[in-house]
Amino acid sequence: MAIFRSLYAPLYFLVFLGSATLIISNGVSRGWLIPLFFGSVAVSLLAERIAPFDDRWNSSHGDSRRDIAHAFVNEGSILILVLLLPIIASFVPWPSVWPDAWPFWTQVVLAIIILDVGITLTHYASHRNALLWRFHAVHHSVRRMYGFNGLLKHPVHQLIEISVGALPWLLLGIPTDVAVVGTFAVVIQLQLQHSNVDMRIGLLRYLWAVAPVHRHHHLASETEGN
């Protein structure tokens, strides 16, 4: 069980993100990302029962329908954004400077880093600006943490967060396929952040905001969680 707790987070992230990268880079239909997403949810829920951080969080708190509704709306908005990327990018008045000659997987890594900077800065501001906090507080309203409710967000905050994160993509001229895998990485990361798995990540906790770090931030008050 100790091995499971230590390996779960990196394997979960690398297997699902790696699978998405292989699917898209090999020209396979993007539609295969849908069953891959549901597979990631199933694995997350199963792992939470194998090695739970808190057994009580594995039982519904009357929040299942709400979480499903938020996931549907928020994942739908991300999908729409990805579909609109080529149209929005056509308004950028300069040619693409994205390093599309790089190997596909290195482009994905770059895309994740760029997106993460924008999302992190928006998150930081959301804990310090009263107006942004009103929207972000919805995400902090959960009474338990499990992988699937990482997708619980106010649609307005979701739009602000993803827009700030994706703006540099647009300005740099990111290829749509790279953007698709980058946004899929967000879904995987959110599930790891909120997971009820008693995962052990060692020194990675200083770099990687998954459940062991995120639980305190999430369940504390607006100021203590900072």
pLDDT surpassing 90 at residue 75: no
Question: Does residue 115 belong to any structural domain of this protein?
Answer: yes
pLDDT surpassing 90 at residue 106: yes
pLDDT surpassing 80 at residue 202: yes
Give residue 101's pLDDT. Answer: 94
Q: How many CA atoms lie within 13 A of 83 on its CB side?
A: 8
Give residue 198's pLDDT. Answer: 93
Question: Does residue 224 belong to any structural domain of this protein?
Answer: no
Give residue 157's pLDDT. Answer: 86
Q: What is the pTM of this model?
A: 0.86
The end-to-end CA distance of the chain, in Å, is: 32
Question: Does residue 225 belong to any structural domain of this protein?
Answer: no
3-28 tens-digit pLDDT: 999 999 999 999 999 999 999 999 99
Q: Give me the domain span that covers residue 128.
A: 2-219
Domain count along the chain:
1
Structure tokens at 132: 């942004």
Tell me how far apart the alpha carbons of residues 220 and 226 are, in angstroms, rounded to a whole number: 9
Give residue 67's pLDDT. Answer: 75
pLDDT surpassing 90 at residue 144: no
Question: Does residue 136 belong to any structural domain of this protein?
Answer: yes
Question: Does residue 152 belong to any structural domain of this protein?
Answer: yes
Tell me how far apart the alpha carbons of residues 138 and 1 are, in angstroms, rounded to a whole number: 34
Question: Does residue 226 belong to any structural domain of this protein?
Answer: no
pLDDT surpassing 80 at residue 117: yes
pLDDT surpassing 80 at residue 69: no
Question: Does residue 86 belong to any structural domain of this protein?
Answer: yes
